[in-house]
Structures are given as C-alpha cells and as structure tokens.
Amino acid sequence: MSDIKSNGGFRVGVQKFGTFLSGMVMPNISAFIAWGLITAFFIPTGWTPQLGAPVEDGGLNFLALVGPMIVNLLPLLIANTGGRLVYGARGGVVATIATMGVIVGTTIPMFMGAMIIGPLAAWIMKKVDAIWAGRIKPGFEMLVDNFSAGIVGGGLSLIAFLGMSPILTAISDTLGKGVEWLVSTGFLPAASILIEPAKVLFLNNAINHGVLTPLGTEASVETGKSILFLLEANPGPGLGILAAFALFGVGLSKASAPGAIIIHFLGGIHEVYFPYILMKPALILAAIAGGATGVATNMIFGSGLRAPASPGSIVAVLIQTASDSYIGVILSVVLSATVSFLVAGVIIRATRSRDIATDENGDLSSAIAQSASNKGK
Amino acid sequence: MSEELTQHVVFACDAGMGSSAMGASLLRNKLKAAGITDVKVTNAAIANLTGAEELIISHSRLTDRAKHMVPDAEHFSVDNFMASPKYDEVVALLQSQRK
C-alpha cells in the first residue's frame, strides 16, 4: 500500500509540474491559432499576401500584426497566465510587467523567459505582500497595493531586461541548437521513445504545450515552420492503434474502437486512445514506432507546421501546415498510422486467443459491456 | 451515502479543455435521458478545482491529484472517457438521492 502511495506521489508530482508548464500555455492556445492564421494569410509566401502588403503597395498592411503578436502578445499572455496561477490577478499583472523586460531585452520571442519570469515575479510579489500583510493602516490599502505592485513589477522588468535577457537568450539558443542537432544527426525520431509513453501517462499536454509549443514557435518565427509541433500532436500513431483494435480486437474493445477513432482523429482528443494502450501496455511499442516514423518523415521532407495544432486533430494539423509542407505532413500522418497499425496488429493478434479465452479487458471491457447492455444489444 | 442532494458534478482533467469537456457532455446526455434536470455538469482543469466541489469525476490516472485538491468531494475514476460504467454509477447515485 505504501508502495503504491509513494509511486502515486511521484506521478502526481511530475504531473503537477507538467500541468503547471502547460497550464501557462494552453489557456492561450487560441492566441497562437490567431497568430498562425494571420501568418498563414498575410506573409509574403502566404495565402493572400496582397492583403498583407503595405497600403502604398495596394494592401491593407495586415503583415504588421505578425511580428508584434509573436514577440509581445503571446509571451505576455503566457506570463500573465503563469503569474495568475501563482498569485491571482495581481500576480498576473506583476508577471506581465516583469516579462516586458525580457521581451525588450532580446530579439527572439521570449516564451521560455515568460514561463520563468512570469511565475517568479508573481511569487516575489506574493512574498513582498506578506511582509506588510495586516500592518497597513485602514484606508491606505489601495495606495500600498497599487504602488507596491507597480514598483516591484517595474523593478523586476529592469532586472529582467539587464540580467535575465542574456541568460535566457543563451538558454533558448542552446535548446534551439540542441533541436537542430537532433534533426541534423537524425536522432530526433528517438524523441518518440520518451514522448509516446509520457503521453499515455497523461503528460501529453505537459510535453506538447509545456515544452514543444514554446520551442516550436521560436523556431517557426525564423523558418516559417517547425517540426516540433508534430512530435506530440500527430494523430497518426493513435489512429493506427485504434484501427488495429477495430479490425483485430476482441469483441468488446473492438466494438468501441471506431467511435474512438472519430473522437481522436477528427476531434483531436488523444486521451481516448490512452486506455487502449494502458490495458495492453505492449502497444506502447506501436505508438513509439508510429511516432518515430512520423518524425522521420517530416525530417526527411523538411516539413512542419506554422503554429501549434491544438487539439491534435487532423483538421487542426492541416490548417496549420506550412504551405510547402503538405506532402511531408500528410505522409507523416499516413505513414505513422500505417506503422503503428501494423505493430499494434501483430501485438493484438499475438495475444488474441488469450483475450478471447479470458475475455477480460478490465474496465474497458466492462465499460463496453455495460454500454452495450444499456443500448439493449 | 450522504442524504444531501448533489446539485453539481464536475468532470476534471489535466487541461480542463479536452477530455473533461467530452466526458461532461456524455454525462449531461445520460442525465437528461434519466430525467434528472436539476444537476449541473461542468468541466474543469484539476489545478482550478476550488475545493468546494461535491462530486468529481476524473481519469483513474488523475484521480490522485483531484483527491489532493478536493479531499472532501466524492470521487469517481473512469478508465475510458467514452464508455465507462462509472457514468451509469453516477447517474444511479443521483437518481437514488432523488427518490
């Protein structure tokens, strides 16, 4: 019992930290989508570049939105959400002010900076407030609150500007170089060995939005696209596994797989395929093989997405696909689904006779049995 | 089982956007089909649970965290978001409260 408990404690800890990271980014995904769409339409290589052109060239100058949105809007939103997680609306404001320092102090979009400075600034504000909590003379609360937050926020933005910008630029460069190295040496598909199991343990958002979205967006500004957006969000591996269940599964898990395919592949809610892997853990091999195939495909074609695809639906993926990347991205989804389908098919068939004999698939089978009986089948 | 009527069921997941929204929709439909109209079903991120929730549904891998956030609530764990017998248990519980 204590074993299970400490195990669960570790898992809860990892999940919590991951949620904290993704929790700063996910509520703001719509802003990433807005930026991705504006970019897709109005950059010179976009869908309607004539509207993006300056007014004197007969356009509406919409291109002007692209830079400030990515450099200012997105990191500030992340900082605000991060600060809010730590110390409410007040924390959010101080976090946003402080993050302005790193944004102005660097030339690259400061997602990492926002994710570090934002919560840190809010935490400092919380500690500063605690110094005189309960000692302010009645009637002076607003004066003290406003000026303490203004002074702390302003001061932190100066510190961030001078002290943190070079450090964060260096970290960001190192991470970017690390990814480039993984791509150039061909090791990037190996990332699936970590990503796929972590996904199934409900660290999917933590990995995708806590790590890959910020890194990918920084890369996307420079090159117009990033492969990183597809490392976790590619719906191919899950599709292959569910399809294998739909064809080779035993009665009950088989029956629910087609519905799960629709929710997963079109709705983009990957969580629906996790239970299928959790009940037959060997299938993680199928997910890893499929995921690595997808990454390798995009690496070979040099394809990527402009902005994060969230949720990881094929619709979102195609909308965010960079104009020069349709072949690579579509192939990566198709091939990863094919590979995971084949591997999952072998695994499911190998254990099939046992599954039929016991007809025991845990909660899933009882779940399906239950819902089938409810439908009066 | 408590005598009070549960008025609000919260479906919690990691981000509070994806699977919990789907689970809440499914449960809402089941409640409607069962003729229970006075129970509100919402979805939330586990990190945003307030501590005042009465009944919380979450995936079994996330229930530890939900319990940590709201120890006093009644917790249900599901393994499969799309078709879990737990939905029917929740519906049955709410029905039994209303008899």
pLDDT in tens, A66-94: 889 988 999 999 999 999 999 999 999 99
**B85 to chain A: which residues are within 8 Å by CB?**
363, 366-367, 370-371
The answer, yes or no, to whether residue A369 has pLDDT greater than 70, is: no
pLDDT tens string B15-73: 888 888 888 888 998 999 988 888 999 999 988 888 889 999 998 888 988 998 899 99
| Active-site residue, from B13, B39, B69, B73 | B13
The answer, yes or no, to whether residue A208 has pLDDT greater than 70, is: yes
Q: In one letter, which amino acid is A221?
A: V
Note whether B47 contacts A85, CB cutoff 8 Å.
yes
Q: Which domains, and CATH codes, for chain B? A: 8-97 (3.40.50.2300)
Note whether A271 contacts B13, CB cutoff 8 Å.
yes
Q: What is the mean pLDDT of residues A342-346?
A: 95
CA distances from A73 to A77, A123, A179, A304, B12 (A): 6, 22, 25, 23, 29
Mean pLDDT for all residues in chain A? 86
pLDDT tens string A313-340: 999 999 999 989 999 999 999 999 999 9
**A275 to chain B: which residues are within 8 Å by CB?**
79-81
Task: Please state which of the ranges A130-134, A358-362, B28-32 shows the lowest mean pLDDT.
Answer: A358-362
At B3, the pLDDT band (50, 70, 90 cuts) reads: low
| Cis peptide upstream of residue A311 (ω within 30 degrees of 0) | yes
C-alpha closest to that of A314 among A266, A374, A261, A361: A266
For residue A252, give the chain B residue with the closest CA. B83
**B59 to chain A: which residues are within 8 Å by CB?**
202, 271
Note whether A367 contacts B81, CB cutoff 8 Å.
no
Contact B76, B57 (CB under 8 A): yes
Under DSSP, the state recorded for A303 is -
Residue A366, classified by CB atoms within 10 Å of its CB into exposed (0-12), middle (13-18) or buried (19+), is middle
Q: What is the mean pLDDT of residues A238-264?
A: 89
- Higher per-residue pLDDT: A185 or A238: A238
Best to test chain A binding among B82, B86, B91 (most A CBs inside 10 Å): B82
Please give, rounded to a whole number of angstroms, the shortest distance from the CA of B86 to a CA of chain A.
8
Please give, rounded to a whole number of angstroms, the shortest distance from the CA of B39 to a CA of chain A.
21
User: pTM of the predicted model, to two decimals?
Assistant: 0.78
At A357, the pLDDT band (50, 70, 90 cuts) reads: low
Nearest to A269 among B22, B64, B68 (CB): B22
The two three-digit tokens of residue A362, written as one number: 């845990």
For residue A203, give the chain B residue with the closest CA. B14
Please name the helix (run of DSSP H) or strand (run of DSSP E) that holds residue B59, with its range, or none. strand B55-59
- Higher per-residue pLDDT: A159 or A49: A159
Q: How many CB atoms lie within 10 A of CB A74?
A: 25
Q: Is B13 a catalytic residue?
A: yes
Q: Is the ipTM of this complex over 0.90?
A: no
Note whether B85 contacts A268, CB cutoff 8 Å.
no
Tell me the sheet residues that pair with B56. B10, B75
Q: In one letter, which amino acid is A103?
A: I
Note whether B85 contacts A363, CB cutoff 8 Å.
yes
Contact A97, A124 (CB under 8 A): no
Beta-sheet strand order (sheet of B74-78): B40-45, B8-13, B55-59, B74-78
